[in-house]
Structure 1
Amino acid sequence: MSLVNKFEFPDNKFDLYFLAYDSPKAASHGKHWTDREGIIELTHNYGTENDAKYKIHNGNKDPKGFGHVCVSVDNIQAACKRLSDAGYKFQKRLEDGRMRHIAFALDPDEYWVEIIAQNPVSETENVTTTDLETYRMNHTMIRVKDKDISLKFYQDVMGMTLQRTSENKDANFNLYFLGYGAPVGEKSANGVNPSANREGLLELTWNYGTEKEEGKVYHDGNAEPQGFGHICVSVDDLDAACKRFEDLNVNWKKRLTDGRMKNVAFVLDPDGYWIEVIQNEKYKAAPGKY
């Protein structure tokens, strides 16, 4: 990935780093950082690097909530070997378990990074090279209590489209992939995940029966123990979008008018995950700015 933007807040003792794939072969090459779909925001609170007791909660141990981010790659065997040769750890290697077409690498804070294939796995077994310029920041996964309530929220309120569904009845869970734009469909001409070349998708994981549990089931990552913070949606007109959300009676973490930062808002989804809402500068830019 490339660093496409950075904000420093020394008075508040934290910095933000925004990373994305930005090569000529990337999905959003050269776009303004607010006009991209495949972005990862890293938050660094000053001093944590020197605190031996400081540990990030990755969301996959109790209390669970956030699951992983996902990167799609050209040649998955070569991509995983490259990471392994560099000394990075894996939660799941390609050869582990029954699912031989996905892997999970661990980043330095032990967040899970799923690795999926853009090409049929059977055709890349003997390929020894991988082209990083073709990678995609494919999706972010969160667990949800009630699939119907969450799907309605992300479609009707956030304006997303259900891209595809993966039912896993034997394992008692379903996966729902949402994003902006037309659905990709369930079939793929090359035999792999039909949305593997997309960026910025949201994966909802629904474990059967959680909708019957009392109270809150999943951890939002912002209460202790901290880890995952939020997803983010950029909009054409920030004021109009927030007025629409207000009219739809959403639950707010922060309205535009709250606090000192008047250029961001945070909506809460049905499970209490934070959704940051920002202005897409493409729609506010002066001619020739980009």
Structure 2
Amino acid sequence: MEFTFMHNNFNVLDLDKSVAFYKKALGLIEERRMSAPDGSFTIVFMGDGRTGHQLELTWLRDRTEPYNLGDNEIHLALCVEDIEAARKMHKEMNCVCFENHDMGIYFIEDPDGYWVEIIPKRK
């Protein structure tokens, strides 16, 4: 029996803002969108165009309060060829929230407070 990763889900308050953030910050593209017939939710699947793994952004019409992320120990991780260029762009976007220079990684924070780890591509 084999299992394959499909997606991770983040619930978001402002879907357009989140889609724009992930496009600009990580180059993710919208691969699929679905909405409930009654308009109660919309789901957007974002992908990197290279792997099958997706980020599912879920917007719920009746949600008006920010999500409680607790200790926010759950995060996504993406690797990048040129981590210094990525860090420069993310600092310009003012979304770098933590840097670990000893490990050579850093984290960015999305509009809803979710953290994304940025890792240099290992050679």
Structure 2-normalised TM-score? 0.87
Q: Deviations over 1:145-190 (max 9, x none)?
A: 11011011011122100000011132600110001117xxxxxxxx
Supply the distance in 1 between the matched residues of 2:97 and 2:56 (Cα, whole angstroms): 22
* Structure 2 counterpart of 1:115: none
* Structure 1 counterpart of 2:53: 200
Counting only pairs closer than 5 Å after superposition, residues 62-211 of structure 1 correspond to structure 2 as 131-132=1-2, 135-170=3-38, 172-181=40-49, 199-210=52-63
Letter aligned with residue 109 of structure 2: L
Alignment size in residue pairs: 123
Query: Which of the two has greater strand per residue?
Result: 2
Supply the distance in 2 between the matched residues of 1:221 and 1:177 (Cα, whole angstroms): 24
Supply the distance in 2 between the matched residues of 1:256 and 1:263 (Cα, whole angstroms): 6
Pick aligned residue for 1:217 from 45, 58, 66: 66
Which has the larger Rg?
Answer: 1
* Structure 2 counterpart of 1:274: 115
Supply the distance in 2 between the matched residues of 1:171 and 1:220 (Cα, whole angstroms): 25
* Structure 2 counterpart of 1:254: 98
Percent identity over paired residues = 30
Deviation at 1:244, TM superposition (A): 1.3
Q: Secondary structure at the match of 1:240?
A: helix
Supply the distance in 1 between the matched residues of 2:20 and 2:62 (Cα, whole angstroms): 18
Supply the distance in 2 between the matched residues of 1:269 and 1:171 (Cα, whole angstroms): 24
Supply the distance in 2 between the matched residues of 1:203 and 1:221 (Cα, whole angstroms): 20
* Structure 2 counterpart of 1:243: 88
Supply the distance in 1 between the matched residues of 2:46 and 2:27 (Cα, whole angstroms): 10
Q: Deviations over 1:268-289 (max 9, x none)?
A: 00000011110111xxx2xxxx
Runs of 4+ in 1 over 6 A off after TM superposition: none
Deviation at 1:221, TM superposition (A): 4.0
Q: Secondary structure at the match of 2:45?
A: strand
Between 228-237 and 265-274, report the one with greater CA deviation.
228-237
Q: Tell which has more relative contact order, 1 or 2 (C-alpha 8 A, sep 6+).
A: 2
Structure 1-normalised TM-score? 0.39
**Gap runs ≥5 in structure 1:** 1-130, 183-197, 286-290
Q: Secondary structure at the match of 1:166?
A: strand
Letter aligned with residue 253 of structure 1: C
